[in-house]
Amino acid sequence: MNKLAIIGAGSMSEALISGIVSSKIIETTDITVTNRGNVERLTELQERYGIHYSFDLEKTIQEADAIILAMKPKDVKVAITQWKDYSTEKTLLISVLAGVNMDSLQRLIGTEVPIARAMPNTSAAVGKSATGISFNSFVEAEQKQFVLDMFETVGSVTFVEEDQLDAITGLSGSGPAYIYYLVEAMEKGGLNIGLDREVANELIVQTLLGAAEMIATSSKTPLELRKNVTSPGGTTEAGIRVLDQFDVQNAFITCIQEATSQSKRMGKALTDELKISK
């Protein structure tokens, strides 16, 4: 793979650009990014990473060996319509769009092309994404390796069947927001018991890091680890009892299920729209 085009210039695009540039799997001069017209943002990326930007879609797409689709999912139909005639059957499409399945992308392109569909999360910005990836049957071995190498620059990669990507979206794609939500609550709890915000935040961050490391390295399940901390009649048991009273665990389970369902609904809406427009 030599030349890469990135359609969309948001935070996920920047995370991927940062990872690619730092790992040097592609020369910076072979990366071109574009968006709907935000020159200021594109200039910022160019100055920060040494890449190119362009609004010449014909030249950008014709020269690209791979295209990353990183616009908002609702904009994918219009975006692909603008440049699909400039791509070839060998051009690799790499989608990071929640809910947009490969069949819909294939219909939008109008021909059989290699497609990789990935679901990273925003922790890619610090090289800690958990990314699920699936491929269609037209992706060649060299292209698969390129996709793997690229997403490994921003975290860990798990290969899955496409029908599991909605679940991955609901679990780890949206997962950082669930953790931030929890931290918000812990910060407010810390303030309510008399801690300064900075002190509370420092303690919370280290607690999360330590717990994550324990889960990653211990042979014990999260349930066993929790029970190890929860002494009968102790402070942790008292806190967990309140969480159980508010059914917090089931609320998180339902949260993940609903996010997964929303990903499926988004995909179905686009699929239905394409069927109607045919």
Residues of the domain holding 201:
174-246
Is the domain of 32 the same as that of 121?
yes
* pLDDT at residue 222 in the model: 97
CATH number of the domain that residue 214 is part of: 1.10.3730.10
Report the 10 Å Cβ neighbour count for 134: 21
* pLDDT at residue 276 in the model: 63
Is the domain of 112 the same as that of 220?
no
Is the domain of 41 the same as that of 128?
yes
CATH number of the domain that residue 132 is part of: 3.40.50.720
How many angstroms separate the CA atoms of 248 and 25, rounded?
Answer: 43
For the chain, the domain total comes to: 2
Is the domain of 209 the same as that of 241?
yes
Is the domain of 63 the same as that of 97?
yes
- Match 């967990």 to its residue by tokens: 240
How many angstroms separate the CA atoms of 5 and 63, rounded?
Answer: 8
Domain boundary among 102, 137, 165: 165
Is the domain of 178 the same as that of 155?
no
* pLDDT at residue 272 in the model: 83
CB contact at 8 A, 105 and 93: yes
How many angstroms separate the CA atoms of 189 and 2, rounded?
Answer: 51
Is the domain of 23 the same as that of 53?
yes
pLDDT (tens place) for every residue of the chain, 278 residues total: 689 999 999 999 999 999 999 999 999 999 999 999 899 999 999 999 999 999 999 999 999 999 999 999 889 999 999 999 999 999 999 999 998 999 999 999 998 999 999 999 999 989 999 999 999 999 999 999 999 999 999 999 999 999 999 999 999 999 999 999 999 999 999 999 999 999 999 999 999 999 999 999 999 999 999 999 999 999 999 999 999 999 999 999 999 999 999 999 988 888 888 776 65
Tell me if 71 is assigned to some domain. Answer: yes
Tell me if 258 is assigned to some domain. Answer: no
CB contact at 8 A, 76 and 108: yes
Is the domain of 156 the same as that of 222?
no
Query: pTM of the prediction?
Result: 0.89
Is the domain of 24 the same as that of 141?
yes
Tell me if 266 is assigned to some domain. Answer: no
CB proximity list for 153: less than 8 A, separation 6 or greater:
16, 19, 20, 22, 23, 25, 127
Is the domain of 206 the same as that of 104?
no
Is the domain of 93 the same as that of 180?
no
Tell me if 83 is assigned to some domain. Answer: yes
Tell me if 185 is assigned to some domain. Answer: yes
Is the domain of 149 the same as that of 237?
no
